[in-house]
Structure formats: C-alpha cells, structure tokens
Amino acid sequence: MTANAPSVRAFRIWSAVHTWTSLASMIFLLMLCLTGLPLVFHHELDHMLGYEAEVPEMPAGTPYVALDRVVEAARTTKPGEVVQFVSFDKDEPRTVLVGMARTLQAVPSDSFVRIDLRTAASLAEAPLGTGPVGFLLKLHTDMFLGLPGKLFLGAMGLLFVAAIVSGLVLYGPFMRKLDFGTVRRGRSTRIKWLDWHNLVGAATLAWALVVGATGAINTWADLMLALWQGGQLAEMTAPYRDVPRPIELASVDAAVATAQAAAPGTTPRLVAFPGTAFSSNNHYAVFVAGDTPLTARLLKPALIDAATGALTDMRAMPWYVQALLLSQPLHFGDYGGLPLKIVWALLDGATIVVLGSGLYLWLARKRSSVERSAAFEGGGRHASAGSAR
Amino acid sequence: MMRPARGTHRIWTAPILVAFAMLAGLVGALLTENALMDGLAALILFGALAWSVGLGLRSPRTRDRGLRGGPRPVPGTGSQHRAGG
C-alpha cells in the first residue's frame, strides 16, 4: 500500500491533467482541426474559387521589369495610398505583392496589389483574406479577435501539448497487457473506443505534437516581431534616430542589388520602405533568404540607406524569429506537394477522431459513475448486509 | 514508479518507430523540398498511420486477452479504464 501510494498519486495527477487539459481546449481544438482541414489546400481552393490571380502565360525567360517601375505601377493602381512593402512570392516568382496603406506608419492592412514582374501590369485579384478560405483562415488564426484571439488559441495549443504529453504517460499503464494495435472489439463500446483512442493517439502522436507546438509558436508571431523591432532593429537603426526622412528615395532595384551583393547566393523576399514598421525613416529594409530549402526560410535583413543606397547594417535575425520562421511550414504542411497535403488532411481527421473519442470516453465514464452511485444508493443496505455476511 | 510488466516493449516499440518515421518524414521533406522526398515523406506518414489503423481494424472480435488479463486495474483509481478519456 505504502509502496504503491506515490504511483497512485502520480497516476491520478496525470489523469486529471489529461482529462482537464483536453476538456478545456476541446471545442477550440475541434474548431482548429475542422478549419485547418480545408486550409491545408488553401492554394487549390483559392484557385478553384477564383480568388487567386490568373498569371498570363508568356514565353519562358521573359525578362522582368525594374522594381521601381513595379512600385510606380502599384501607386497608379491605388492613387492616394503609399507603398509600405514589396513582397516576393516564393511559389509564384513571376509576380510580386505590393502592400499599400493610407500612411506609411499605418498597420499593414489587406490593401495589396499584385503586379506581374514581366509587364508591370496589375493583376486582378480578390483582396487578401476574403472569400471562404480567408474566412476560415481568420477563424483559425484569431477567431476575428485580433491579438487576444491569437494568444488565446496559443494557450489552447499549449493545453493540447499538455494533453498529448499526459496521454503518453497514461498510455503505458493502460496498454501494458495488450499488443500495440489491439482493439477489443468484443467488449463494450466504451472499451472499444478507449482502444481506438489510445491506438490513433499513439499513431498520430509525433504529428500532433509538431503541429500543436508549432501552432502555439505561430500565435506569438506578432509579439516576436515586436520584440525584434524594439531590439535588433532599433539597435541597427539607432545612429539614424534623429535624421529626417530623405525627400528623394534611392532606387529600389539598387537597394535590392546592394543587399544581394552583401549576401551572395540570396534572393529578396521582402523590401520594407522607409518609414514603415519594419524599417526606419531612413532605410529600405531588404529581407533576403538563402537558396537551400532550409536557408530559404531564414530571413536576413539588410538596411540600405534610402538616400545614398549604401548598406549600413546586415545581421541574421534573432533565434526566436528564426524558430518562428522554421515552425511555420511544419504547422501548415504546405511545403510539400499534393500527396503530403492529403496525408496532412488524413492526420487532421485522425486527430478529430482522437478528440471526439476522448470526449465520448469522458461522457461515458461520467454516466457510468452516476449509474454506479444510483445503484449503490439503491442497494447500499443490501450490499452492506451481504458484505457483512 | 509503476511496475514494468512483461510485454511493455511491445506497446512502446511500435509507437516509437511510428513517431520517429513520422518525424523523419516531416523534417526530411522540409529540409529537402523536392518532389521525390515529398512523395517519400507522404508515403512514410501514410504508411505509419495506415499500418496502425490497420492493426486496429484487423483485431479479431475474439482476440480479447483483456477479458482475462487486460490492463491491470490501477490501485486506488476505482476503474481500470479511467484515463482513456
């Protein structure tokens, strides 16, 4: 009795952790799984539903126009708005996305113009974040509540991770007399679903941990970027703190070329314009990335003097931003081709089964304990008499 | 600590292998990003899931070691199946 006491206590604690972390996050996890399922195929769905720009076919090797011309074309498309950044699409290198806003300091909104790099023509495209996929994405990332919604879902993600870890601890005691993969189909519905819960939970453990943990990390993206802005970026732009913004800006093409010359073998991913949140009043911030699958995800900002076009600083981003950038594809599963996306969807479906069966097991256990209590109260006197005999 | 029982390896070996295969597939596809590795990763992930689910589906109705020697009741918990949910 005394030797077993700590293990019983530990078991009860882990059991309580597993039950309550799962129950507390259940509704939100089911929502995340259900909305995440179509989001795995967001490219395909956007294309199918007509929310993605049609890029005209042109002969291979058609040269690209200058970025300055692209920026000018964006300004013409949205008169009265200023350019905040130019974003290069890794999956669609023939176009760029130009982010616009009423003022340079405005929080980047959904005002974008997609420009064909070969013609500088503006491509017709539904505003980002609209349509069914946009709706699901907003629901999935912050439930239309902005940063508080994101952080809340991040907390749900952490509860999910705790539920997985506690489930792993409990798996041993419950399965030690069974072969892996055994489902006792001859027993009650509850035991059958307990076995399915354990089996599918064990099979999807690694994937669920990766997706749950990276999902939680992604919810901290805004905080991490704010930390970077207040830390490394502020340090890099400190010498220019009181220098007024130049009236004439250097060429965007020259800024990109300078950044690439400073980091050979890289390609531009984003150019933030002077005066915006990701730069200073006096700099273009050119974010470049490497050419291998791994380094292509790690951004390196180069600050280019917006008046002279000279490089003033270039550093690797801090580890927490790198971790965020690496975690994103592991959460979305969109780095692979269609086969990997289909498997991602299957694993998402399997996680829904684990969540649903867990809820069923909890409800069934509650029902059976209520029945046991009722039976005990009804036949208590008789049972007491029987045990006395 | 809970006492390890005979057959413990059986319940850990397979899930550990499945987890490692999945992780290797996920990270491998991320690091290489080519169609072949993507396909291979998808195959590994699908194979691990399908094999596990297949084991459950193939469990015979009569194969019920649990009736005689199923999971041991955990002392003091009131039920041998509590933690599942």
DSSP A136-199: HHHHHHHTTSHHHHHHHHHHHHHHHHHHHHHHHHHHHHHHTTS-TT---TTS-HHHHHHHHHHH
Q: Looking at residue A8, what is its pLDDT?
A: 84
Tell whether ipTM is more than 0.90: no
Query: Tokens representing A93?
Result: 């290198």
For residue B63, give how far its alpha carbon lies from the nearest alpha carbon of chain A (Å): 7
Residue-wise pLDDT tens digits, B2-59:
444 444 556 788 888 888 888 888 888 888 777 788 888 889 989 999 999 998 898 8
Residues of A within 8 A of B15 (CB-CB) are 171, 180, 202-203, 205
Residue position matching structure tokens 């380094």: A295
- The tokens for A46 are 């956007």
Q: Which residues of A touch B9 (CB under 8 A)?
A: none
For testing contact with chain B, the best of A207, A291, A327 (most B CBs within 10 A): A207
pLDDT of amino acid A332: 84
Dihedral pair phi/psi, residue A273, rounded to 5°: -80, 155
Mean pLDDT by 10 residues, chain A (389 residues): 68 94 95 95 88 86 94 92 91 90 79 92 76 92 94 97 95 82 87 93 94 95 93 92 87 96 94 92 94 87 95 94 90 83 94 96 85 67 45
Closest CA to A215 of A21, A348, A59: A348
pLDDT of res. B10: 67
User: Which chain A residues are closer than 8 Å to B84 by Cβ?
Assistant: 170, 174, 193-194, 197-198, 358, 361
> How far apart are the C-alpha atoms of B13 and A108, rounded to whole Å?
49
CA distance B3 to chain A (A): 9
All residues at 6 or more sequence positions from A37 whose CB lies less than 8 Å from its CB, including other chains? A345, A348, A349
Q: What is the pLDDT of residue B75?
A: 42
Query: Nearest chain A Cα to B36, which residue?
Result: A337
Q: Which of B11, B39, B82 sits opposite A176 (nearest CB)?
A: B11
pLDDT for res A361: 94
What is the least distance, in Å, from the CA of B30 to any CA of chain A?
7
Q: Which residues of B touch A190 (CB under 8 A)?
A: 81
